[in-house]
Amino acid sequence: MPTALVTGSAGFIGHHVSARLLAEGWRVVGLDALTDYYDVRLKARRHAMLSQNERFRPVEARLEEPERLMSLMAEERPEVVIHLAAQAGVRHSIEQPRSYVEANLAGTFELLEAARAHPPAHMLMASTSSVYGAETEMPYREEMKADTQMSFYAATKKANEAMAHSYAHLYGLPTTMFRFFTVYGPWGRPDMALFKFTAAILEDRPIDVYNHGEMRRDFTYIDDLVTAIRLLIDAAPPAPAAEGDSAPDAAPGDTLSPVAPFRIVNIGNSAPVRLTDFIAAIEAATGRAAQRNLMPIQPGDVPATWADATLLQALTGYRPQTALADGVARFVAWYRDYYGL
């Protein structure tokens, strides 16, 4: 069975991706610095659960430790690298932009350097729907210009896409860049709306409803996201055709680069949900009514996201399919169990 290096393995998505690969018999090297952006106990628990499997090797290190990263890649020679470690969060990037430069720009650079020295067969990296920024045409298609980022977080992720493309071109490193759309589910992130709303509703505190509720998000349930990632591992972008050869077959709406084995793929439900319906789903799952504190839109935020998932389906034959009510109910069940409520 192959080896994967998963960065951000103590994080929400990295934990679930690692668990799926381990369940399929892979060896997983999980690198995470367990940063204190949110409750470190949650990250430690996620890593501890993975560590119960003897094919999981936890490595507590920052990406911005080039010698450690380089020797880890030399020693493990992973066939697949899944880069999910990052400083995430739109709002936090207004208060602490430097941490985004460090983790997302310097950190991703160090990983690319290590992958250049010890190339995996396929490199897969997380970007975000936030890179679509001020684009108003919906749904968001991967080939849109996406040049109007509204937050520094989104700007660092857009930069990651460009950095990865240049390495794919220069060193022939097959690279798939995911644009994730609001991922949610058990073991989720405490800084995201579902977690915050559930906590507040169960504790009888009001919830902050931004843009007076006039928001729409394309939510992606974690198990669907993991399935999409798993299938995309097997869909490495082909190298561009040599001069005189015919070009590789392109999927509909393919973003395959003309000069590099590189493509960008949206992973989203393609079914945007109004914030009011989202809150209603949490009310139904908790059996409690929310107290709403209506607020203006936050700086850096966008009022709506909506993924075109045509390319994902063409490449994998798969589309995320969990209904929001089911996914929210599973999250609330996990939350109650975890916090004993």
Q: Which residues bind ligand NAD (CB under 6 A)?
A: 8, 10-14, 32-35, 43, 62-64, 84-88, 103, 107, 126, 128, 180, 182-183, 189
The two three-digit tokens of residue 254, written as one number = 């393919």
In the complex, what is the shortest distance from the CB of residue 244 to ligand NAD, in angstroms, rounded to a whole number? 39
Q: Which of 153, 167, 221, 335 is catalytic?
A: 153
**Catalytic residue check, 153:** yes
Asked whether 124 and 232 are in contact (CB, 8 A), the reply is yes
Q: Distance from first CA to last CA of the chain, Å, rounded?
A: 40
The answer to whether the Cα torsion of 31, 99, 68, 66 is positive or negative is positive
Distance set, CA 121 to CA 5, 110, 170 (Å): 12, 18, 15
Nearest CB to ligand NAD, comparing residues 184 and 240: 184
The answer to whether the Cα torsion of 226, 7, 150, 210 is positive or negative is positive
**Length of the chain, in residues:** 341
Q: Cis link prior to 97 (omega < 30° from 0)? A: no
In the complex, what is the shortest distance from the CB of residue 8 to ligand NAD, in angstroms, rounded to a whole number? 3
Nearest CB to ligand NAD, comparing residues 118 and 189: 189
Q: Comparing C-alpha atoms, which of 157, 66, 162 is closest to residue 116?
A: 66
Name the region of 185 (left: φ>0; alpha: ψ -120 to 50; beta: rest).
Answer: left
In the complex, what is the shortest distance from the CB of residue 336 to ligand NAD, in angstroms, rounded to a whole number? 20
Antiparallel, parallel or unpaired: β 273-274 and 216-217: antiparallel
Nearest CB to ligand NAD, comparing residues 122 and 158: 158
Give the residue closest to ligand NAD by C-beta: 11
Strands (E), 163-215: 175-180, 183-184, 207-209
Nearest CB to ligand NAD, comparing residues 122 and 240: 122
In the complex, what is the shortest distance from the CB of residue 246 to ligand NAD, in angstroms, rounded to a whole number? 35
Nearest CB to ligand NAD, comparing residues 44 and 251: 44
In the complex, what is the shortest distance from the CB of residue 215 to ligand NAD, in angstroms, rounded to a whole number? 15
Catalytic residues: 153
